[in-house]
Homo-oligomer: A and B are copies of this chain.
Amino acid sequence: MQFYKKSETNRLNCPIQLTNQILGDKWVLLILRELFLGNTKFDEFEKNLAISKSVLTVKLNLLVQHGLIIKTDYKEEKKRTRSEYQLSKKGSELIFMMGAILDWGNTNLVSKEETYLKIIDKTGAPVKLVFVNQNNKILSLNDLSFELS
């Protein structure tokens, strides 16, 4: 694999840094996991993650502010109004990152003897991520390099 080398990376406008400012903490990625698993309600997050209410509130508000999730109120018959949180388009586009983490984590960290999480297609077969060029031709890692432009 080739690497681009330059002494002056653009730090402030860097997509890694900006993304890390949103996702780089103890909880946000795990909340996103719950959202991708289809959970939408406050108490589902609270129960599944064993997170404190106050922190959960803060993180959900943060995700709303950044436009990754959308909060809506709904009401079932004879019940009080409740809130639910759903991934926005922007948020759901993180599925590529989630898929990459799933692949890497399953390969390198997870015990395959136990139950584990993965992404499958409609036939139930596991999928994988690949880099492609403009013509959808699959690229080898040796073809890739980082660049500032």
A62 within 8 A of B: no
Interface size class of A (residues with CB under 8 A): 35 or more
For the residues of A in contact with B, the DSSP-based class is mixed
A114 within 8 A of B: yes
Given A129-B129, A129-B131: A105 and B16 interface contact (C-beta under 8 Å): yes
CB-CB under 8 A from A20, the residues of chain B are: 26, 29-30
Which residue, A13, A23, A114, has most C-beta atoms of chain B within 10 A? A13
Q: How many copies does the complex hold?
A: 2
A8 within 8 A of B: yes
Taking the closest CB of chain B, its distance from the CB of A128, in whole angstroms, is: 6
Partner-B contacts on A (CB < 8 A): 1-6, 8-11, 13-20, 23-26, 29-30, 33-34, 36-39, 48-50, 90, 92-111, 114-134, 136, 138-139, 141, 143-149
